[in-house]
């Protein structure tokens, strides 16, 4: 087994040498079973999944728990002030508040989430504290904030970056309410699913939500079964994109149930995307992407529109892939 240092070296080599500092892009990859289970393994949404997977791999390659990997993986992205779709660097709602949603789930079906949370650097860790320290699953808004303070989290003084503030100020000069479109350059959410070397699955999801959303809006990311779902007997799934569209089909839970009924992770992701297209007539106007992982370490990825990317770390390699997608015209 290679060490963490070897792994970092390899992913840095693929990135820096071959592609001038950018992560290496692969064709959409549906990892099929080889007879042996692919583990450990971690996959996560968008190009920010590369550094997130690196952090998760540090845990997984040392024999650590998938739950720790999916928490510490997405924390890297939450802490990046330049990331405008996750954490406190995110685009605000239309009133100028950056409100955060996050969830986490372990191999025993334990789960926790927070929504509409402000001024906290790591909402995913507050979600984990809800899971581990309360009899509840979800805390929101001021209650979630007070719970965070009571449990040792600090209030962050991080303000909107000047860049984000300038974009928001410009948007305010236009009276029309439209949320920001989601694409490669303006995506949302990091969702992550992982299996550790013991074969246990976990998932996490964290976002600042749709830019310019109505104050109080909560998306799919903190809703267990929508933005992320884990069933250790079957597999795990996570979502990115327009949360309202995911919530209308209970996307991540749907994918896990499809896998339970015999679909491969790839087939399950495709069926969920087809379900959105069948039920939501405006499906060509927004993005949704799904990732799935089953107990054999087989993976799936599929999106509505072109442009969805995901990072997959397995067998000591961490690479970015273009997902296949539905709308080809
Ligand atoms: N998928 C994240 C959101 O809609 O808020």
Report DSSP letters for 280-322, one per residue: -TTGGGS-EEEEEEETTS-EEEEESSTT-EEEEEETTEEEEEE
Peptide linkage before 40 cis (omega within 30 of 0): yes
Whole-structure pTM value? 0.89
Report yes or no on 150 lying in a domain.
Answer: yes
Whether residue 173 lies in the annotated active site: no
Q: What is the pLDDT of residue 103?
A: 98
- Give the pLDDT band (50/70/90) at residue 188: confident
Can you tell me which atom of ligand 1 is nearest the CA of 208? 5
Q: Is 179 in the pocket of ligand 1 (CB under 6 A)?
A: no
- 91-135 pLDDT tens trace: 999 899 999 999 999 999 999 999 999 999 999 999 999 999 999
Domain of 239, in residue numbers: 41-322
Q: Is 209 in the pocket of ligand 1 (CB under 6 A)?
A: yes
Q: Looking at the 3D structure of the chain, how many domains does it have?
A: 1
**Residue 164 and residue 84 in contact, taking contact as beta carbons nearer than 8 Å:** yes
Q: Is 210 in the pocket of ligand 1 (CB under 6 A)?
A: yes
Report yes or no on 328 lying in a domain.
Answer: no
Q: What is the pLDDT of residue 12?
A: 36
The sheet carrying 324-325 orders its strands as 228-231, 235-241, 288-294, 299-303, 324-325
Can you tell me which atom of ligand 1 is nearest the CA of 242? 4
- CA 279 to centroid of ligand 1, rounded, Å: 19
Mean pLDDT of the chain: 88
Report yes or no on 7 lying in a domain.
Answer: no
- 269-290 pLDDT tens trace: 999 999 999 999 999 999 999 9
- Residue 23 or residue 237, greater confidence: 237
**DSSP E strands, the chain:** 25-26, 41-45, 100-105, 111-117, 138-140, 190-195, 201-207, 228-231, 235-241, 288-294, 299-303, 309-314, 317-322, 324-325
How many whole angstroms separate alpha carbon 219 and alpha carbon 185? 20
Give the tokens for residue 277. Answer: 């297209």
Identify the weakest region by mean pLDDT among 21-35, 162-176, 190-204: 21-35
Q: Is 241 in the pocket of ligand 1 (CB under 6 A)?
A: yes
Report yes or no on 210 lying in a domain.
Answer: yes
Q: Is 245 in the pocket of ligand 1 (CB under 6 A)?
A: no
- 2-48 pLDDT tens trace: 333 343 333 433 333 233 333 334 445 666 554 467 899 999 999 99
Query: What percent of the chain is predicted at pLDDT more than 70?
Result: 85
Q: Is 251 in the pocket of ligand 1 (CB under 6 A)?
A: no
- CA 218 to centroid of ligand 1, rounded, Å: 8
Report yes or no on 313 lying in a domain.
Answer: yes
Can you tell me which atom of ligand 1 is nearest the CA of 101? 5
Tell me the best of 182, 188, 252 to mutate to test the pocket of ligand 1, counting ligand atoms within 8 Å of each CB and taking the most: 188
Report yes or no on 182 lying in a domain.
Answer: yes
| Entry field: residues in the chain | 329
- CA 152 to centroid of ligand 1, rounded, Å: 27
Q: Is 287 in the pocket of ligand 1 (CB under 6 A)?
A: no
Catalytically annotated residue among 84, 189, 207, 240: 189
Which CATH number fits the domain that encloses residue 269?
3.60.20.30
Report yes or no on 241 lying in a domain.
Answer: yes
Tell me the best of 87, 100, 101, 215 to mutate to test the pocket of ligand 1, counting ligand atoms within 8 Å of each CB and taking the most: 101
Report yes or no on 327 lying in a domain.
Answer: no
Q: Which residues contact 72 (CB under 8 A, 6 or more apart)?
A: 55, 56, 58, 59
């Amino acid at each position: 087994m290679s060490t963490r240092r070897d792994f970092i070296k390899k992913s840095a080599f693929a990135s820096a040498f071959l592609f001038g500092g950018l992560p290496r892009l692969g064709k959409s990859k549906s990892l099929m079973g080889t007879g042996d289970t692919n583990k450990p393994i971690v996959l996560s949404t968008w190009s920010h999944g590369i550094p997130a997977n690196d952090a998760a791999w540090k845990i997984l390659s040392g024999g650590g728990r998938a739950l720790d990997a999916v928490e510490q993986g997405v924390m890297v992205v939450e802490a990046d002030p330049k990331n405008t779709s996750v954490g406190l660097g995110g685009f605000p709602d239309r009133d100028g508040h950056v409100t955060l949603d996050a969830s986490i789930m372990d191999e025993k079906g334990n789960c926790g989430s927070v929504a509409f949370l402000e001024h906290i650097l790591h909402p995913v860790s507050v979600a984990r504290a809800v899971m581990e320290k309360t009899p509840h699953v979800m805390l929101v808004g001021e209650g979630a904030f007070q719970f965070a303070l009571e449990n040792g989290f600090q209030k962050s003084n991080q303000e909107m970056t000047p860049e984000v503030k300038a974009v928001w100020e410009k948007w305010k000069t236009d009276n029309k309410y439209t949320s920001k479109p989601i694409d490669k350059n303006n995506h949302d959410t990091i969702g992550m699913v992982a299996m550790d070397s013991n074969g246990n699955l976990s998932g996490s999801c964290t976002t600042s939500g749709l830019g310019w959303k109505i104050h109080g809006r909560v998306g799919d990311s903190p809703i267990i079964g929508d933005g992320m779902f884990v069933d250790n007997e079957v597999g795990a799934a996570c979502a990115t994109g327009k949360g309202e569209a995911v919530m209308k089909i209970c996307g991540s839970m749907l994918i896990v149930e499809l896998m339970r009924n015999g679909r491969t992770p790839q087939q399950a992701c495709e069926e969920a995307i087809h379900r959105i297209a069948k039920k939501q007539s405006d499906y060509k106007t927004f993005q949704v992407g799904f990732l799935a992982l089953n107990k054999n370490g087989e993976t799936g990825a599929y999106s509505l529109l072109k442009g969805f990317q995901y990072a997959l770390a397995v067998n000591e390699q961490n690479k970015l892939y273009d997902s296949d997608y539905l709308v080809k015209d």
